[in-house]
Amino acid sequence: MIHASLKDLSAALAAKKVSAVELATLFLDRIEKLNPTLNAFVSVDRDKTLAMARDADARRAAGETGPLLGVPLAHKDIFCAEGWLTTCGSRMLSNFVSPYDATVVRNFKQAGAVTLGKCNMDEFAMGSSNETSFYGAVKNPWDTARVPGGSSGGSAAAVAARLAPAATGTDTGGSIRQPAALCGFTGLKPTYGVVSRYGMIAFASSLDQGGPMARSAEDCALMLNAMAGFDERDSTSLERPVEDYARDLDQPLAGLRIGLPKEFFGAGMDEDVRAAVEAALAEYRKLGATTVEVSLPNSGLSVPAYYVIAPAEASSNLSRFDGVRYGHRAAEYGDLNDMYSKSRAQGFGDEVKRRILVGTYVLSHGYYDAYYLQAQKVRRLIADDFAAAFKDCDVIMGPTSPSTAFRLGEKAADPVQMYLSDIYTIAVNLAGLPGMSVPCGFDRQGLPVGLQIVGGWFAEAKMLNVAHQYQRATDWHLRRPALAE
């Protein structure tokens, strides 16, 4: 059962081959056994989980059906969940029990999914390796001496090690796709505004987007069907017709035009990654697709633009954590300003402090025009590049990450090298486009390689079709680490 797809788990529940309680217990036992090694979960509450499972079984017994009814899932600890500790991987929120559900969590509850727990993450989603968490680094199930990627590293390790059939994640600059690549499964960042951000603790409000993390494109489609939809409580949520994201999965790929940005295939990519991506492109040609060269001339500016815009928004968003209403408060302080200063100094980690300082600087008088405004102009140019490229192709492909999983601590002392881990993913967030990563091979050390698929705005169903057809022709997404046996 631990290797079954969401569709198969749902079918087993419907056929009464297994109960939701039995399924939940199976995965809870795996979490208890393997989490001390992987550090993928921050919070697990067996009683809460089993109560949800019993409720799902009762709903099925009453005649209710649904593709996720009784299916266990994990949530990134950035999503508020009523009655659950919701820490965002930070000491600042280490004692915060959410009084309400994020819309994403509520949607899954309504669908009958069972929450297994809350997954570890880089502090306030700031990181590419899951080493900035207050709760310690998450380990990659393929090699526990390596990072799982970030910031959704706990969700990634949980899915890869079969501690959960699927999990939620968030992607601000690649934080679903990069860990999906490094841990060998499928992750999807939807178009900005498709999934509600209500109750998702904000890092960079114009970039953050929740999405599914699962073993296959088909599983991601089932999850996105539950996650997506207009939410009047989120001012960035888009009011659009309800979609079935699984509707095109079985469409053939004959005539598909794949754009290959020349900027994604230059220097800086590991040769093993290049070989795996080129082999995946050859497979797509066998499936009837054609490839064309396209250009994203401003993509090289995506990293500097991102690291102006994202910290600026973070400095504004994180100002709410002041030790007054909730979260960490310093035990000793003089006056109000001293309480603010000490609470934040103690509550935030180094990476969060670094980004707050950068963000405050670029928004300050005299520097706003020189940095923040210019970065927003570059952002528009990047979006225009994608719009021009999609005139010549249906989807864009390339590597998700320039390398496979690197060793724990290898880049921790060099923030610039860490930031460059997201060099192929960040432009997608700046443009608000959907992007996904699918497994496409391994390097010589047996570590997974991810292929990135980028679509036009609201092209999630098309991308899932493109990924699903590839996964029907290959078995990379079925490979699993020894820990998952």
Chain-centroid distance, C-alpha 240: 23
The single-letter code of the amino acid at 475 is D
The single-letter code of the amino acid at 72 is P
Tokens of residue 309, six digits:
């815009």
Out of 98, 133, 151, 302, pick the active-site residue.
Answer: 151
Distance of alpha carbon 79 from alpha carbon 213, whole angstroms: 14
Closest CA to 221 of 399, 68, 103, 110: 68
- Active-site residue flag, 175: yes
The single-letter code of the amino acid at 15 is A
3-state secondary structure of 294: strand
| H or E stretch at 259 | strand 257-261
3-state secondary structure of 6: helix
Chain-centroid distance, C-alpha 417: 20
* Cis ω for the linkage preceding 98 (within 30 of 0): no
Distance of alpha carbon 183 from alpha carbon 484, whole angstroms: 12
Beta bridge partners of 290: 257
Out of 10, 76, 342, 343, pick the active-site residue.
Answer: 76
Out of 10, 133, 175, 421, pick the active-site residue.
Answer: 175
Place of tokens 């690649």: 174
Chain-centroid distance, C-alpha 472: 23
Residue 229 region, left (φ>0) first, then alpha (ψ -120 to 50), else beta? left
Place of tokens 């499972």: 53
- Active-site residue flag, 151: yes
Q: In the chain, what is the straight-line distance between the N-terminal and C-terminal CA atoms, in Å?
A: 11
Place of tokens 């993509």: 299
The residues annotated as belonging to the active site are: 76, 151, 175
